[in-house]
Amino acid sequence: MIVIMKTTASEKAIDEVVSRIVHLGLDTNIIKGAERTIIGVIGTSFKAELAEMLVSVAEVESVIPVTKKYKLASREFNPLSIVMDLANGVKIGGPEVLIIAGPGAVENEAQLLDTARLIQQAGGRVLKGDAFRPRSSPYAFRGPGEEALKQLAKAREMFGLPFLTEVGSADEIEVTARYADIIQIGAHNMQNFNLLEEVGRAMKPVMLQRGTSATVEEWLLSAEYILNVGNKQVILCEGGIRSFDPSTRAVLDLTVIPLVKKLSHLPIVVNPGQASGKAFLVPPMALAAVAAGADGLLIEVHSQSNLSSEGPESLDLLQFEQLIAQLKAVSQVRERAI
Amino acid sequence: MIVIMKTTASEKAIDEVVSRIVHLGLDTNIIKGAERTIIGVIGTSFKAELAEMLVSVAEVESVIPVTKKYKLASREFNPLSIVMDLANGVKIGGPEVLIIAGPGAVENEAQLLDTARLIQQAGGRVLKGDAFRPRSSPYAFRGPGEEALKQLAKAREMFGLPFLTEVGSADEIEVTARYADIIQIGAHNMQNFNLLEEVGRAMKPVMLQRGTSATVEEWLLSAEYILNVGNKQVILCEGGIRSFDPSTRAVLDLTVIPLVKKLSHLPIVVNPGQASGKAFLVPPMALAAVAAGADGLLIEVHSQSNLSSEGPESLDLLQFEQLIAQLKAVSQVRERAI
Amino acid sequence: MIVIMKTTASEKAIDEVVSRIVHLGLDTNIIKGAERTIIGVIGTSFKAELAEMLVSVAEVESVIPVTKKYKLASREFNPLSIVMDLANGVKIGGPEVLIIAGPGAVENEAQLLDTARLIQQAGGRVLKGDAFRPRSSPYAFRGPGEEALKQLAKAREMFGLPFLTEVGSADEIEVTARYADIIQIGAHNMQNFNLLEEVGRAMKPVMLQRGTSATVEEWLLSAEYILNVGNKQVILCEGGIRSFDPSTRAVLDLTVIPLVKKLSHLPIVVNPGQASGKAFLVPPMALAAVAAGADGLLIEVHSQSNLSSEGPESLDLLQFEQLIAQLKAVSQVRERAI
Amino acid sequence: MIVIMKTTASEKAIDEVVSRIVHLGLDTNIIKGAERTIIGVIGTSFKAELAEMLVSVAEVESVIPVTKKYKLASREFNPLSIVMDLANGVKIGGPEVLIIAGPGAVENEAQLLDTARLIQQAGGRVLKGDAFRPRSSPYAFRGPGEEALKQLAKAREMFGLPFLTEVGSADEIEVTARYADIIQIGAHNMQNFNLLEEVGRAMKPVMLQRGTSATVEEWLLSAEYILNVGNKQVILCEGGIRSFDPSTRAVLDLTVIPLVKKLSHLPIVVNPGQASGKAFLVPPMALAAVAAGADGLLIEVHSQSNLSSEGPESLDLLQFEQLIAQLKAVSQVRERAI
């Protein structure tokens, strides 16, 4: 941590800051510049409150942290990228780019099984389906509940696809963990810290979506919450951030793929449809994500002409198959496979 | 709801859209323009899914909602501003501008009682103190727990100040509701929908902070979650939104004060220190908030020279007293009092 | 400037960074921490390129500037707030809060003179009117040109109101400077650096609007362009920044008022209607701006029922008069007058 | 255009709105809903001011435009993507993905020629070099001027590379157009409307960078300014938009590639280094841009160990060659070549 004093700071003020730091068992190293004094704080222990305290001193200009706030989520702590075993031999983080796909909503068993079969034939490896749906309006449909989990489990049994499903509150975790292979935390809940710890304790792989206005640091700190309860299986998922431009629902921030890979050992998946909200934007952005080094994709597909509960970003089966073919070629450029 | 067809839309496509709408028991009114056709949807029932379904039709350009998504939180539904009785005769939403103040953290009983006494003498009407503190890092201190609630209750007994305190997860509600007068939902949890419903059921006044990237519509929809379980006592609180400028922690969006008053009957409070993160910015922004019509302010104050756990936005007692004097004068311009 | 080396940086890399700095005639001071080394750069000369060069070194984690990038615009350089004489005894930056008002567009002489008379009677001190209007679409009306400048000059002669008018390109400066008292640079042109220098050379007071996505630092750097050609009369104007929320045209960032006053000696004016785009939001935000310490306001008013070219944020005369009365009371709280 | 009346609007107010519209020679079509009335405006002529006027009517809730604001830049007006001949047989918009590359600054002839030779050998087709550099600080180096243009012309002669160079003000256009093949308008100047028209009149291909907080609509409106003076050769360039996350300089918004291709016939180039500000992020984002369908890339490279004026996003020659090899493979997936 570095403390930058104001140009007007007195010797007395500088001494006082130094003594506060030393009082906490840390060392200092002082740089007296032509215009101002800078105090380096030396010590390995993590002191979140010290920075806040020093900023409140009148003659301190600013306090700059040097150490990262997260540890278990950092590549410094885990030099090797983690390869996670999901279920049925399906892995993420290794040479294979993982295709996760599913309908927008689980409506009935027949339709789900039909979609699952077609996804599996086209090259999808994980099925996505939601029993619980946190929604921004209390009047929107919040999901079919446990019945959907049973149907997803049946689809897994029939087609060998492990499944991913979202939880929105702590009381949904126990029943979900009994069925699901991967539990998703949605963007709204990225900083629902209690939920992060509770879902971590279920000891299932967790897919943690980036909040729509979360910095990369906040995202990794939320991953740290899950890792910190002893669950090492965290998958990050980028689905778009807020911007001033109403052209799309959100801005897909693909730069986080190489950035997160530099900062962390955790795998990263991209959900292009969630950001764009339009089906014609999904294939190019899916290709871009894999070209940028994503470990997986989450794609919404529909098997039928009945669109009543499908999002406008949903691909039809033919579009999905064509996309998979192109994704295979792009993944080879990155020395990976699908 | 208005459906705007593409310029290239065929008659067949237009007919299909109309028949989908009629199928749901709604009426349509068609405008054939020089370039494109527009379909007005007529009906009072709320159909969230219809819009999504129509957007997914290839020949639809866009779908524009006309009706607001929230109802119980709207002024159309409640023409009169609500005046809420908090406790001990303290009200919000009426002619008095409510001053809520407290230390950044509840450290020990002596210090809390000392601060409460000075706040009460200076003109504060509600005490703010946190037993539970949702934090973005798992390594930060998460609050002292029930012990702090007992101390806050003791301060209430001694100085007549009802108290406001934050909860971060559903399992903290029951114990909090036993002691507190107003329960705060922090910005991180504004879209923690399960928490909103659970806290609503405690039937205590709820102060709902705006998420740092929430639109006004999303904020009012979150209020709707609380109102929808039968709790009418929702107070909105603006504490800043995210921007591209690192000059301050967040941008205090004071325009939401007159905007929310137009859209809703609910009272609105401003927390200037949370956005600015610097004590010297708090008094001018507090004055501005009251000038813009805020129903209350939430201000952090400290009673002592020991700043170890105070935020850099904390006022000292003298600054707080001077601010109150100025606030009284500004509130008179708005025909209110403090 | 502080250079933070990576935790993995070798001694050789550290030596190389030091020798690059020393090579430019600057001194260093090295802090060897438990985890990493930090190099303080000592010297008063301004080296913009050094930071960029050092960031590109592989073993450098980050480079943190300590000195501000602007100088002439800084309060460190000019401890006293500037009071500017505009014309006809009208000043800005002193005890009086300056009210600038005018119609949205200059349509014809009779209407302009009528509006000017009413503005002057209501308490306005500067007239705003545009001869040139930079517009985001090539198909929008770009202003009446010199004819409007003559009409504004006539209004000045008749009612004693100095006038403010916008220029959008260098070739409009000469004619504008012949008539106008204050020249406005709009938000679109805040980083049109050539225009800033050219307008500065006209040696008239310049009102520099903040770009809708400009940081405070960038804004003051743009002011520095004008100051750097020898023109000391720069007035800053906040008119809103971009956000994710479509509720209003832009977010009025009032916190910049006390922030800019801390960083700079230049006066600051607020244009509440430009940000909100709605007349009912103008009075509360104008009051808030003065409560926060603004040196002036820019308000659009219309004198007639014919609204054909007025913006939706335009006040009518009665609203304007009522606002002035309230502004007088609020300005007294800040020990100022209108 | 659609006018949505408030739920409380009287018959008289509705009639008045209708009569204003009819007064301008336009037709209306009225939808009386259960809750409110909606008025459709029918007519092909472009009436920018009508919307603003109607919004200001007290009983109007909102006005929604249906027609796009730009015309010459739209695919509706130009169904076929344009293929532009730049010089020396180099084209953009056709099957070849164009690689534009150059040093961060033109320092001296020997170094420029050396870099140009290596770029050409590696597969670059256009040389980028700046004689004029608009900078956010008046103290930064603003470019070497005409001398650099001569050196760039010499490099073109020797290696057959047409060159791209930026102008920052109207008085730089004439000299620049005498030498350059493509003129760049930087992000700061995207809404410098006078410069757009002036550069358009030089009748050279113009590369228009997106402003860092410009919506796609504003970007295409700025292109419209150039097209509207008769210059059909506009190339769009995405280099990042502002966000709340300090992890990178800007967020590269690759979704605009397929979005702009849907809305417009103009080619689009991506500058990944400008957004990321870090060399290690450039190759993955360059690959992603081509996977998403970009027509070209703008990449900064340096030929030497002397980094004194290179940006931290600059690739070395080896990195550039490796990137080109990967780009070739990705471009094939999109049925294109490099």
Express each pLDDT in D121-145 by its tens digit. Answer: 999 999 999 999 888 888 888 888 9
Q: Closest CB to A168: pick one of B48, B69, B194.
A: B194
Indicate which of C31, C46, C47 best probes the interface with A, i.e. most A CBs within 10 Å of its own CB: C31
Do A279 and B218 lie within an 8 Å CB cutoff?
no
Per residue, the 3-state secondary structure of chain B, as one string, reads: CEEEECCCCCHHHHHHHHHHHHHCCCEEEEEECCCCEEEEEECCCCCHHHHHHHHCCCCEEEEECCCCCCCCCCCCCCCCCCCEEEECCEEECCCECEEEEECCCCCCHHHHHHHHHHHHHHCCCEEECCCCCCCCCCCCCCCCCHHHHHHHHHHHHHHCCCEEEEECCHHHHHHHHHHCCEEEECHHHCCCHHHHHHHHHCCCCEEEECCCCCCHHHHHHHHHHHHHCCCCCEEEEECCECCCCCCCCCECCCCHHHHHHHHCCCCEEECHHHHHCCHHHHHHHHHHHHHCCCCEEEEEEECCCCCCCCCCCCEEHHHHHHHHHHHHHHHHHCCCEC
Residue B38 backbone zone (phi > 0: left; psi -120 to 50: alpha; other: beta)? beta
In this structure, of A48-52, A228-232, B5-9, D191-195, the range with the lowest mean pLDDT score is: A48-52
Do A76 and C38 lie within an 8 Å CB cutoff?
no
pLDDT at B307 over 60: no
Tens digits of residue pLDDT in C231-258: 999 999 999 999 999 999 999 999 999 9
Question: What confidence tier does C217 reach under pLDDT thresholds 50, 70, 90?
Answer: very high
Do D44 and B34 lie within an 8 Å CB cutoff?
yes
Closest residue, chain A, to C33 (C-alpha): A42
Do B66 and D4 lie within an 8 Å CB cutoff?
yes
Q: What pLDDT was estimated at residue B24? A: 78
Domain ranges of chain B: 2-64, 84-333
Nearest to D175 by CA among D206, D142, D210, D148: D148
Structure tokens at B6: 């593409």
Q: Identify all chain A residues contacting D252, using CB atoms and an 8 Å cutoff.
A: 253-255
Do A31 and C44 lie within an 8 Å CB cutoff?
no
Do D259 and A281 lie within an 8 Å CB cutoff?
yes
Q: Closest CB to C293: pick one of B243, B254, B284.
A: B284
Tens digits of residue pLDDT in A249-275: 999 999 999 999 999 999 999 999 999
Percent of chain D with pLDDT over 90: 67
Q: Under 8 Å CB-to-CB from A31, ≥6 apart: which residues?
A: A37, A38, A39, A40, C29, C31, C40, C42
Do B248 and C254 lie within an 8 Å CB cutoff?
no
- How many CB pairs below 8 A link C and D? 127
Tens digits of residue pLDDT in C47-83: 666 777 787 777 888 887 777 889 999 998 899 999 9
Interface list for chain D against chain B, based on CB atoms closer than 8 Å: 2, 4, 7, 29, 31, 33-36, 38, 40, 42-44, 64, 66-67, 76, 213, 242-244, 246
Q: Identify all chain A residues contacting C34, using CB atoms and an 8 Å cutoff.
A: 42-44
Closest residue, chain D, to C224 (C-alpha): D138
Q: What is the mean pLDDT of residues A165-194?
A: 96
* ipTM for the complex shown: 0.91
- State the average pLDDT for chain B: 91
Q: Identify all chain B residues contacting A134, using CB atoms and an 8 Å cutoff.
A: 191, 193-194
Please give the model's pTM, rounded to 2 decimal places: 0.91
pLDDT at B46 over 70: no
Q: Which chains pack against D, by 3+ Cβ pairs within 8 A?
A: A, B, C
* CA distance, residue D33 to nearest chain B CA (Å): 5
Q: What is the mean pLDDT of residues A156-173?
A: 96
Do C29 and A31 lie within an 8 Å CB cutoff?
yes
- How many CB pairs below 8 A link B and D? 51
Do B134 and A224 lie within an 8 Å CB cutoff?
no
Q: What pLDDT was estimated at residue D306? A: 47
CATH number, span B84-333: 3.20.20.70
Q: Closest CB to D254: pick one of A244, A254, A256.
A: A254
* CA distance, residue D62 to nearest chain C CA (Å): 11
Strands D98-102 and C268-270: unpaired
Do B288 and C291 lie within an 8 Å CB cutoff?
yes
CB-based contact B246:B95 (threshold 8 Å)? no
Tens digits of residue pLDDT in B214-246: 999 999 999 999 999 999 999 999 999 999 999
Q: What pLDDT was estimated at residue D43? A: 66
Do A247 and D259 lie within an 8 Å CB cutoff?
yes
Q: What pLDDT was estimated at residue C176? A: 97
3-state secondary structure of A91: strand
* CA distance, residue D148 to nearest chain A CA (Å): 33
Do D258 and A284 lie within an 8 Å CB cutoff?
yes
Do C44 and A35 lie within an 8 Å CB cutoff?
yes
In this structure, of A175-184, A247-256, B305-314, C259-268, the range with the lowest mean pLDDT score is: B305-314
Residue D160 backbone zone (phi > 0: left; psi -120 to 50: alpha; other: beta)? left
Alpha-carbon torsion (B275, B278, B282, B285), positive or negative: negative
Higher-confidence position of A307 and A65: A65
Higher-confidence position of D246 and C47: D246
Do A329 and D326 lie within an 8 Å CB cutoff?
no
Q: What pLDDT was estimated at residue B16? A: 87
Alpha helices in chain C (DSSP H): 11-23, 48-55, 109-122, 146-159, 173-179, 193-201, 216-228, 256-263, 272-276, 282-291, 317-333
Higher-confidence position of B154 and B310: B154
Tens digits of residue pLDDT in A117-150: 999 999 999 999 999 988 888 888 888 999 999 9
Q: Which chains pack against A, by 3+ Cβ pairs within 8 A?
A: B, C, D
Q: Which helix (H) or strand (E) segment is A259 a member of?
A: helix A256-263
Q: Identify all chain C residues contacting D225, using CB atoms and an 8 Å cutoff.
A: 138
Indicate which of C1, C244, C249, C262 best probes the interface with A, i.e. most A CBs within 10 Å of its own CB: C244
Q: Which helix (H) or strand (E) segment is C84 a member of?
A: strand C84-87
- How many CB pairs below 8 A link A and D? 116
Do B134 and A191 lie within an 8 Å CB cutoff?
yes
Do A64 and C2 lie within an 8 Å CB cutoff?
yes
Question: What confidence tier does A5 reach under pLDDT thresholds 50, 70, 90?
Answer: confident
Closest residue, chain D, to C189 (C-alpha): D192
Q: Identify all chain A residues contacting D247, using CB atoms and an 8 Å cutoff.
A: 215-217, 256, 259
Do C259 and B245 lie within an 8 Å CB cutoff?
no
Q: Identify all chain D residues contacting C312, using CB atoms and an 8 Å cutoff.
A: 52, 55-56
Overall size of chain D counted in residues? 338
Q: Which chains pack against B, by 3+ Cβ pairs within 8 A?
A: A, C, D
Q: Identify all chain A residues contacting D212, using CB atoms and an 8 Å cutoff.
A: none
Secondary structure letter of residue C239 according to DSSP: -
Closest residue, chain D, to C169 (C-alpha): D194
Q: Identify all chain C residues contacting D308, using CB atoms and an 8 Å cutoff.
A: 49, 53
- How many CB pairs below 8 A link A and C? 55
CATH of D2-64, one of 3.30.70.1350, 1.20.1560.10, 3.50.50.60, 3.30.70.1140: 3.30.70.1140
Alpha helices in C202-255 (DSSP H): 216-228
Q: What is the mean pLDDT of residues B177-199?
A: 96
Q: Closest CB to A49: pick one of B171, B192, B309.
A: B309
A50: number of CA atoms within 13 Å, CB side?
Answer: 21
pLDDT at D49 over 80: no
CA distances for D30 relative to B40, B225, D40, angstroms:
10, 35, 6
Percent of chain C with pLDDT over 70: 95
CA distances for B7 relative to B64, D6, D27, D41, D76, angstroms:
17, 28, 18, 16, 9
Do C259 and B248 lie within an 8 Å CB cutoff?
yes
* CA distance, residue D282 to nearest chain A CA (Å): 9
Q: What pLDDT was estimated at residue D16? A: 87
* CA distance, residue D269 to nearest chain B CA (Å): 25
